[in-house]
């Protein structure tokens, strides 16, 4: 579907398409983050340590990093509707297989496989959403589809955590597989096949992709977003070991994080439509502040819960960077949009890995906040570099 053909869609049709795409984001968000709330249960069931469960999280993230550019390039010649169906169908199979994993190595493999279609799905879904919106409202359209990811953190993740605590962590992944299959059905029903859609060549996308503004935007996401994942990945053991609350508070904390994510997602789209690329700098500054305060709030539940909410607002970086990539990646939009989620999952691998190293070295669970603040500041340095390149390009063009 292209901007030229989208006006024939009615507002109701656009709403149903956005809902279908957002449901896919809900499935992916629940599947990606559920294991973080079930870290103690997975470790106990498989007889492994909690930092090893952190490696399972990283295996999924590495799958996203590997799959996003490869599948985006392989799917460049396909129309967006069948590509979305294949990607979400593969995601469903990966999660069902994860639910049936017999031991730690198999779970690592199946989480890697489940991560492969993640970035490409979001990349194509964002392009479909943006193509149906006026130019000055693209970031809001992107944020509406990404809302599925935020609602997953608010509702899907706490429900999956409760289900895993009550029955088994395996039921959480089975639920994700079922939601993914529902997404396949909704996309098939509501998203029309556009036979006039302009498709791109893999080599053409690769050539257009290989430019400094694109790589720098991906660098910002890879580093600047790592802090949120560092804190979020070890939130459950922090609540149990530092705040010393009942395990029943873990789903509540996850829901509060999700509320912060919804606010951040809306704020990110709103900020970018007004401030353009400058919005990214303000979001990174805010991120460094809230992550630096997180360890100071961890001793009491009533200070930790607001801190968790504020960490959730870091999700604002996602729609802002996603829309910026669409602006700077002309000719490589599919590959760039997919690679944005690869960048975020480099952050998803980097954050838990850095946190696990520090925790294993004896620095305690709350060290994750300080590590996260450092990565947000490093992302701000990457933004300064990207801003300098953007201004130089603007001067050269004039």
> pLDDT for 20-47, tens place per residue?
999 998 999 898 878 877 888 888 888 8
379, 320 contact by CB (below 8 A): no
DSSP-H helix ranges across 225-276: 226-233, 235-238, 249-275
Within 10 angstroms of residue 396's Cβ, the number of other Cβ atoms is: 7
**pLDDT reported for residue 177:** 94
Calpha distance 114→355 (Å, rounded): 23
Interval 125-165: pLDDT, tens: 887 887 777 766 767 777 788 788 778 877 888 888 888 88
pLDDT in tens, 69-107: 888 777 777 788 888 999 999 999 999 999 998 888 899
Does residue 381 register a pLDDT over 50? yes
Q: What is the pLDDT of residue 337?
A: 72
Say whether pLDDT at 7 is over 70: no
**Is the pLDDT reported for residue 368 higher than 70?**
yes
**d(Cα 183, Cα 161) in Å, to the nearest integer?**
21
What tens digit of pLDDT does each residue of 199-236 get?
565 666 666 666 788 888 888 988 888 888 888 888 88
pLDDT over threshold 80, residue 393: no
What number of other Cβ atoms are within 10 A of residue 84's Cβ? 26
Q: Which domains, and CATH codes, for the chain?
A: 6-397 (1.20.1250.20)
The first and second tokens of residue 255, run together, are 């829901």
| Residues near 377 by beta carbon (within 8 Å), at least 6 away in sequence | 284, 288
Q: Which phi-psi region, left, alpha or beta, contains residue 197 (left: φ > 0; alpha: ψ -120 to 50)?
A: beta
């Amino acid at each position: 579907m292209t901007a030229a053909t989208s006006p024939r869609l009615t507002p109701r049709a656009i709403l149903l398409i956005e809902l279908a795409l957002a449901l896919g984001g809900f499935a992916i968000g629940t599947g990606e983050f559920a294991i973080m709330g079930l870290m103690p249960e997975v470790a106990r069931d498989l007889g492994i340590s909690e930092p090893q469960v952190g490696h399972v999280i990283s295996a999924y993230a590495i799958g996203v990093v590997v799959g996003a550019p490869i599948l985006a390039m392989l799917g460049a010649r396909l129309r967006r509707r069948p590509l979305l169906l294949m990607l979400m169908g593969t995601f469903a199979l990966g999660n069902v297989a994860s639910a049936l994993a017999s031991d730690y190595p198999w779970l690592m493999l199946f989480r890697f496989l489940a991560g492969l279609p993640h970035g490409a799905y979001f990349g194509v879904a964002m392009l479909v959403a943006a193509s149906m919106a006026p130019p000055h409202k693209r970031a809001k359209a992107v944020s509406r589809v990404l809302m599925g990811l935020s609602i997953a953190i608010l509702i899907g993740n706490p429900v999956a955590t409760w289900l895993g605590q009550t029955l088994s962590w395996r039921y959480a992944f089975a639920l994700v597989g079922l939601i993914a299959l529902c997404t396949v059905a909704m996309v098939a029903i509501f998203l029309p096949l556009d036979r006039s859609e302009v498709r791109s060549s893999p080599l053409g996308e690769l050539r257009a992709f290989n430019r400094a503004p694109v790589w720098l935007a991906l660098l910002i996401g890879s580093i600047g977003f790592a802090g949120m994942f560092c804190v979020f990945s070890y939130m459950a053991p922090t609540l149990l070991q530092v705040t010393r609350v009942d395990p029943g508070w873990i789903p509540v904390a996850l829901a509060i994080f999700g509320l912060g994510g919804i606010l951040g997602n809306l704020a990110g789209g709103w900020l970018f439509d007004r401030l353009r690329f400058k919005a990214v700098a303000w979001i990174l500054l805010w991120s460094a502040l809230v992550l630096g305060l997180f360890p100071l709030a961890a001793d009491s539940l009533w200070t930790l819960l607001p801190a968790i909410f504020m960490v959730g607002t870091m999700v604002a970086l996602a729609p802002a960077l996603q829309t910026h990539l669409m602006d700077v990646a002309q000719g490589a939009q599919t590959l760039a949009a997919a690679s944005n989620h690869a960048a975020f999952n480099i952050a998803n691998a980097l954050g838990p890995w850095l946190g696990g190293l520090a925790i294993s070295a004896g620095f305690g669970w709350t060290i994750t906040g300080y590590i996260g603040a450092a990565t947000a500041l490093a992302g701000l340095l990457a933004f300064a570099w990207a801003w300098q390149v953007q201004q130089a390009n603007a001067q050269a063009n004039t």
